[in-house]
Amino acid sequence: MPAQPPGGGVDVTVEPFFEWVIERPPFGEDPPSIPGAHFVDDLSPYIERKQLLAEQDAQTATATITGLEPEHPLFAKVQAVVEARQADIGSRA
């Protein structure tokens, strides 16, 4: 991420992307037709990838706040975002 001006927030561009992966076995031979979803026999690789992405968030945040004192306003903001993101990911895994 490029350097950001002090007090200017974080300005980043991301791709619009989502992936809806559903485990097929509970549906037997006739999974429902859900637009945008695809069914797989094993969710393990998708869960592993999700956990890897969550870990990358934490590493990026750590790099961002390295060198800042815990009292710095940015430290608390980044920490809150990371904790919320990890809680969200954990609740979906």
Which residue among the candidates 22, 31, 43, 50 is catalytic per the annotation?
50
**Cβ contact 63:74 at 8 Å:** no
Distance CA 39, CA 11 (A): 35
Q: Is 50 a catalytic residue?
A: yes
Distance CA 63, CA 36 (A): 35
- Catalytic amino acids? 50
